[in-house]
Each structure stands twice: as C-alpha cells, then as structure tokens.
Structure 1
Amino acid sequence: MTAPTLIRTCSIWRALEIVGDTPTLLILEASWLGARRFDDFRRRTGLLKALLSDRLKRLVEAGVFEKRLYCEAPPRHVYAMTAKGRDVYWTALMLLRWEHRWGTPGKIDVALTHKSCGKAFEPTPACGHCGGEVDATRVDWQEGPGLGWMVPQYSRRRQQRDSSTDATSLMDQAAQLMGDRWASLIMRSIFTGVRRFDEIRRDTAIATNILSERLAWLTSIGVIRQEQYASSPPRYEYKLRRKGVDYYPALLMLMQWGDTYYVAPEGPPLLLKHKDCGKELIAKVVCSECRAPIEPEDVEFRVREERTTPVF
C-alpha cells in the first residue's frame, strides 16, 4: 500500500479551507460594505445564484455568518457576520492595502476614513509589543509546538462570476491571489524558506502540473522571480520580489486568524519573533495616522462617489 502524502500542518492551510477562494472573499467584502440579504450579495458580488448560495451556506456552517430569519411568510433571511467573521477583517484590510499599492491603476477608487481620529488612513501592520511596522524582512520564525504532518484533503472549488454584472470589487488581484489556494500555499512555502520546485511540491502536495502553472502565474504578475542555482542540468529557485514581500501581512493576519480558530491542542505550528524588539510577534492592524487598532465599525469606505458605513 502506498503511504499517504503528508504536508506540514499550517494555520494558513486551515484558514484557506474556509476563506481561500475568490467568491468567498467577494462575499466577505460585500458584507463589510453593508450587504445582508441574498439579493444584496448577488448585486454586489455578481456571483451566480447557485454559487452564492453554496458559499453562504459554507460560511454559515463555518461560523463566519449567522443566518437569521426576518420574515416568516415568505421565509426571508439576513446573513449577519459573527465575531469569528469580524476577525477576518484585518486580513481583508491587508489585502486592500496590497491592492492599493500593487493593483492595476484605475481598477479601484476607494478611500478609508478612521472615524476615531477623523482622518483618511492606510491600514498598517504593526507589532503588538513595540508598535513598529511589520515587514517580512523583519520577522524570524521557528517551529512551534503544534507543528506536525497531516494528510491534505483539498476540496474542489469553482471560481465563477456572472459576466453580465457590473459589480465591482475593491480587491481585484489581491482576491485572485488569496482566492487561489494553491498560490497562497506556494507563497507560504517561499516565506518560510522553501524555494525550489521539488521542495515546494513536497511542502504543499500540489500536483506537478498545477505547481508549474501557478509558479508561472506568480512570476508573470511580478510577485516572485526565478533564479538559476545550477547549470547542468538547469535548476531554479523562486524568490520574492518586493511586490511579493509586501503580500506578507495578508498571510500573517490570515495565519493569526487560523491560530485563533483552528490551532492544534499543542499550540501554533509556527512561532514568530519581531526582530526590531526581539519579542513574540502578535501583529495587529493600526491606523497610519493615530496608530490605534482598527475595528470594523470605526471605518468608513468611500467607493467612487458612494459612501458606505458597514453595519454590524
């Protein structure tokens, strides 16, 4: 009997099982922009009805949304975000920050206002101890007590949008990147020093053809670059470009969310240390102007000419 393929246990992997596809990210974004009813989500996301219904059902089952009856005849429901769902907010803000910095110019037009200080701001990843900004190059990591090996059970996902809709997303390429679970797992590997093709394949258990395609895509969008380390035969490893380095806070916040809700009894698989202060890294997202931690209800979005305050 062939031994099962094993991959490293990872809070990012577990979190991606819940939020790691583009339709789910679009639904979460729509909720933060005020959508509560099915038709609201349909209009904002442009997802086909069957796909939207499936993803809403999964989010309810995962405890990210709560389905509440507001009309009995005919039965109608709203989808309210739970505390668990609210805790994904920092991940979304980091995706939005990355999109603002690296997305296609002109694809989005959004401004954030922090109601607590009244100023327009950029969400900023910060160390919970020293308050310094968190950058991938300023973080050390080591194996944690929850590190182990597991058999991957990848659920099949479709990524489908209705081309007839005029719905818009604040996170275009960012949602594509995190919404492609394979790409995010590859990024996880590279961030932890796993850079060569065979090493990444063993680390992620991704099929060879899929891994080749995703590496080519990540290279084409400028997130990673290929560097030759042997000539006969030619061998390559994959290193981060600045655009890829800047994606780190999104994965960091996703990992912390996974550590909160899906960690093993022994503890987290990875332990992080902020080099600047030498302490355990517990990251938070703060206002770039007043440095206060960002809460969903304290943020106003201005999308084009529309101003929307999320309701929680």
Structure 2
Amino acid sequence: MSSQTLIRTCSIWRALEIVGDTPTLLALEASWIGVRRFDEFHQRTGLLKALLSDRLKRLVESGIFEKKPYSTSPPRHEYVLTRKGRDLYWVTLMLLRWEQRWAEQDGEIRVTLTHRTCGHPFTPEPACAHCRGDFNATDVTWREGPGVGWMAPLYSRRRQQRDNVVGTSLFKTGAQLMGDRWASLIMRSIFTGINRFDDICRDTAIATNVLSERLAWLVSIGVIRQHQYASSPPRHEYRVSRKGLDYFPALLMLMQWGDKYYVSPEGPPLLLTHKACNHGLDAIVVCSHCRETIQPNDVTFEIMEPGAIVTAG
C-alpha cells in the first residue's frame, strides 16, 4: 500500500466514525434533554423513523446508549446514556456554547444553564485542568504522541445528512459541522497547521471533489477563509476565522473522548501543551461564574422554544 493511501492516526478520526453524523448528534442532543423513548426521539429530531432506528441501533452497538425495557406487554424499550455516552457531555456543551455565540437560531430558541454548585446561570467555558485558565486554538501547541502512525482510511459509507436537520435543535449548525465527518477532518488539519489544498488532501485522504465542496461550504458558513499566498499562478491556503477558532474546544473535547475510548495501546497520537502554563493540556469545562468543573448532574437548564418551555436537570 502506497503512502498516498494512508492517513495519520487520530482520535478525532476514530471518534468521528462513531458520532460524526448529524442524525447521531441530534439523537444525543435529545437524550441530554431527557428524551428516552423512540416516539419522543422522533418528535424531537424530526428524523425519518427508519433513519432514527438505524442511528439508535448504532449508538447501542457503540456502547453509548443502553436499551432498557420499560414495558413487557407489549415489549417497549427506552434508550439511556451509558458512562461512555455521558462522557460526551463536554462535547455537547462546547457545541451549545459555539451555537449560542455564532449561529443563527430558527425562531426564538434560548437556553439558560444553571450550575447547582454555585446557584448561578453560567456559560460553559473550556479551561486547562492544571492552571484553570481559558484557552483557544492559538493558546495550544501540538506535537506527535506515542500513538502516532499511519492507517488505511477505512471510512464507513454514509449519505451526506448535513442539510437534513428538520426538527428542533439547540445546535443545528454545530451538528451540521461536527456531523459532517469530512468537514471536521478538514478543520483538524487546519488547526494542526496544514493549510493548503494538496496537503489537506494528503492528510485526510478525502477525494478531491469532496474536499473542494467541503472547503467551499466551510468558507460559506464563515469558519475558514481563503488567503492568497501566490499570484502567478493564483494559489490559496485556508485559515480559521474567529468563528472557526471558537469551534476548536468542541473538536478538542471530541479528541479527548476518542483518546479515552479508542486510543492505541501505545498512547495518544497527539500531545497538546497549554502555552500559558507550559503543561500538557487536559481540557475541562468549567462554570463561567465559579470556575468549578462542570459535570452532567451539576446542571439544570431551561429551554425557551416557540410555544414551549422545557426544563430538566
């Protein structure tokens, strides 16, 4: 097998094979809101029943949901997050944070999170576990880890579901972005300093026509921008915008989840350092008011949607 058919090993790549799909992310979002039963998932997500059934089945097979009976006559089941599924909570919070800052919401959807520990409404903020300081992509350096290597890009085949968000979603654009596996892999490349078309293509093994379409889409939604670095002939590279920089914590939390559940025996493929404290970056999510670490059971929320108020937690 030639080097052109291989890509860098990456925990983001492995995690995206599980959750890099918009319908999957919509099902996970519904579960955080308290949805457990199939009809509730269908109503909340607006997904076709066959598509929803398939994604719930995959989430059970991946160990993210556990299927539990709640009725024997007739047989009925509900879907409950496992520990592995609950460990995606920080990914969800970072997608919600990004959506609230940058995306245009349909109607008047507003989310208020309250931290039980301090009793205050809060914004979830990414922080370094060592110094508890905030960070973004420019505050982090990357280097190869013990698990770095090359692997065949054995991507599972999926239809593009980016434009099929028809139900009520708290992070519609975020689900489209992370749920488009190719787009997330492109963002991974750009965040790690790979900016030019041919280099991104080699790094991700994405077909050139697909890469062109995804780069154009990422430019159109404002997370990356083109920068011309040569005029004869014209050549461009791609850089993240402020909006794109703010997406970094969501992708990083996904990488950490992938490191926990899908890392190679040698260790993580990438090691990150927080420049401010010069320590290895163990990213956490903290309360913007008291700076304590946020866990699922620590949060209550109120969602104001057109014609309804949803509370949980």
TM-score bucket (shorter structure): over 0.9
| CA RMSD across the alignment | 1.6
Deviation at 1:296, TM superposition (A): 1.1
The structural deviation recorded for 1:214 is: 0.5
- Helix, strand or coil: the match of 1:264? coil
1:307 matched to which residue of 2?
Answer: 310
Q: 1:209 to 1:299 in 2, by over 3 A?
A: same
Counterpart of 1:34 in structure 2 is 34
TM-score normalised according to structure 2 size: 0.95
CA distance in 2, matches of 1:150, 1:183: 19
Alpha-carbon distance change, 161 to 226 in structure 1, aligned in 2, over 3 angstroms: closer
1:280 maps to a residue whose letter is: G
Question: What code does the residue aligned with 1:62 have?
Answer: S
Determine helix, strand or coil for the equivalent of 1:187.
Answer: helix
1:200 maps to a residue whose letter is I
| In 2, Cα distance between equivalents of 1:192 and 1:2 | 23
CA gap of 1:292–1:59, structure 2 versus 1, over 3 A, is same
Secondary structure of 1:235 counterpart: strand
Distance verdict in 2 for CA 1:222–1:3, change over 3 Å? closer
The one-letter amino acid of 1:143's match is E
1: CA distance between counterparts of 2:242 and 2:31? Answer: 31
The corresponding residue for 1:151 is 152
Give the superposition deviation at 1:278: 0.5
Give me the whole-angstrom Cα distance separating, in 2, the residues matched to 1:162 and 1:218: 17
Letter in 2 for 1:265: P
Q: Identity rate of aligned residues, in percent?
A: 69
Q: Residue 162 of structure 1: CA displacement?
A: 7.5
Aligned partner letter, 2:309? E
SS at structure 2 position matched to 1:67: strand
Q: SS where residue 215 of structure 1 aligns?
A: helix
Report the residue type matching 1:302 in the other structure: E
Matches within 5 A, 1:214-225: 214-225=214-225
Q: Structure 2, unaligned stretches of length 5 or more?
A: none
Separation in structure 2 between the aligned mates of residue 287 and residue 307 of structure 1, nearest angstrom: 21
The size of the alignment, in residue pairs, is 308
Change (3 A) 1:2 1:200: closer
For residue 256 of structure 1, what is the aligned residue in structure 2?
A: 256
Please name the residue that 2:111 is paired with: 110
- Structure 2 equivalent of residue 140 of structure 1: 141
Post-superposition Cα deviations, 1:156-209, rounded to whole Å, max 9, x if no partner, equal 22328888x6x3100011111001010000000000000000000000000000
Gaps of 5+ in 1: none
Report the Cα offset of residue 234 of structure 1: 1.1
Q: CA deviation at 1:153?
A: 1.3
Secondary structure of 2:5's counterpart equals coil
* Structure 1 match to 2:6: 6
Q: Tell me how far 1:105 sits from its aligned partner.
A: 5.2
| Mapped partners of 2:57, 2:163: distance in 1 | 18
Which residue pairs with 1:183 in the alignment? 183
Structure 1 residue 306, shift from structure 2 partner: 1.4
| Cα distance in 2, alignment partners of residues 15 and 121 from structure 1 | 28
Asked if structure 2 preserves the Cα contact closer than 8 Å seen for 1:125 and 1:134, the reply is yes
How far 1:52 sits from its partner (Å)? 0.5
Asked if 2 retains the 8 angstrom alpha-carbon contact of 1:147 and 1:269, the reply is yes
- Range moving further from structure 2, 122-131 or 151-160: 151-160
TM-score (norm 1): 0.95
- Partners of 1:147 and 1:218 in 2: CA distance: 27
For 1:287 and 1:90, locate their aligned partners in 2 and report how far apart those are by CA, in whole Å: 12
- Rate the CA distance shift 1:240–1:58 in 2: closer, same or farther, 3 A: same
Letter in 1 for 2:312: T
Structure 1 residues 292, 141: closer, same or farther in 2, change over 3 A?
Answer: same
Distance 1:192 1:59 in 2: 29
| 3-state SS in 2 of match to 1:271 | strand
Say whether the 8 Å CA contact 2:7–2:153 is kept in structure 1.
yes
* 1:34–1:308 contact (8 Å) kept in structure 2: no
Q: Distance in 2 between matches of 1:182 and 1:271?
A: 22
Q: Tell me by how many angstroms 1:231 deviates.
A: 1.6
Separation (CA, whole Å) in 1 of partners of 2:256 and 2:17? 15
For the pair 1:119 / 2:115, whether they are aligned, the reply is no
CA distance in structure 1 between the aligned counterparts of 2:133 and 2:163, rounded to whole angstroms: 39
The 1:211/1:73 distance shift into structure 2, 3 A limit, reads same
Q: Is the 8 A contact 1:300 1:307 kept in 2?
A: no
Over residues 259-289 of structure 1, what are the superposed CA-to-partner deviations in whole Å (9 max), with x where a residue is unaligned? 0000000000000000000001000001100
- The one-letter amino acid of 1:148's match is G
Distance 1:246 1:203 in 2: 23
